[in-house]
Chain A
């Protein structure tokens, strides 16, 4: 049943994107209502700042509006396409933030100044959540071996590269790559994607 509901939702999403591609504002409004919460939650988790997350979400939805016609359903679902867009816009902001902090550190001579790491920032998000799908994803994630979950979360939310994760955890690069691979394979298997 859950799988059928997911397919129905995917079809509805695709229809909305097609209408948005033709300039349909009501479809855009409906897609916003459906996706703004998870995409905003993702941006907030990665950026740790509500204002930045709102600006990123605005960029994402303006991009959805202007590029809906380029969406290719053979490559991804609408949901995963918009998640990718959101991560990309957030990563732009994280990089800009790091550049600003490096400039400040350089100007003040404080070479040890902390460069922002969104993965360790405390999110202001409300933890209450009644979304079944979200609960299922959290459950699957929490049941991964902790070292696999850690590697995936550092990569996905913290936008650390596998090289940076290996350095941070003091593990060989091959070990980190294997943890990411095994963790994602288990997510695929258990989420039935």
Chain B
């Protein structure tokens, strides 16, 4: 049974609104509850769908050319398999924690 308070925390978590301390505490709770992890995953997918509500506009074609050139000429190597997902970089990546919970 997920309490209302946990639901509040889960909603704030998927939107990247928890402080570092709150996020750490919530992640501990997540690691202990499969039910809570499932709930968070469902909320995360619903939150991600919000992106589709933005007025739709395509980027300029030149941007794709720029990016393809970048990965080709700069030889940015894909990360090796099994690499830990994302390093800790402070509060900037709070949002990403949702994807790692």
Chain A interface residues toward B at CB < 8 A: 20-23, 25, 28-29, 32-33, 36-42, 44-45, 53-54, 57-58, 61-62, 65-72, 75-77, 79-81, 83-88, 91-92, 95, 123-129, 131, 133-134, 137-138, 141, 152-153, 155-157, 159, 161-162, 177-178, 180-181, 184-185, 187-188, 191, 193
Contact = CB atoms under 8 A, between A and B. Distances in A.
State the main secondary structure of chain B at its contact with A.
helix
State the main secondary structure of chain A at its contact with B.
helix
A38 B51 contact: yes
Contacts of A25: 68, 71-72
Interface string B27-59: 000000000000001111111111111111111
Given A161-B17, A191-B46, A21 B81 contact: yes
A97 to B, nearest CB: 14
Contact of A62 (B41, B71, B81, B96): B71
Given A29-B68, A69-B78, A134-B53, A36 B99 contact: no
A191 B77 CA distance: 37
Of B41, B45, B57, B78, chain A has the most CB atoms within 10 Å of the CB of B57
B21 to A, nearest CB: 14
Contacts of A84: 44, 48, 95-96, 98-99
A62 B76 contact: yes
B14 interface: yes
A45 B55 contact: yes
B78 A68 contact: yes
Contacts of A36: 58-59, 63-64
Contacts of A141: 50, 53
Interface of B: 4, 7-8, 10-12, 14-17, 41-60, 63-64, 66-68, 70-72, 76-86, 92-96, 98-101
Contact of A91 (B47, B67, B92): B92
Contacts of B95: 84, 87-88, 91
A32 B66 CA distance: 12
Of A75, A81, A161, A178, chain B has the most CB atoms within 10 Å of the CB of A75
A177 B42 CA distance: 18
Given A76-B45, A184-B14, A134 B52 contact: yes
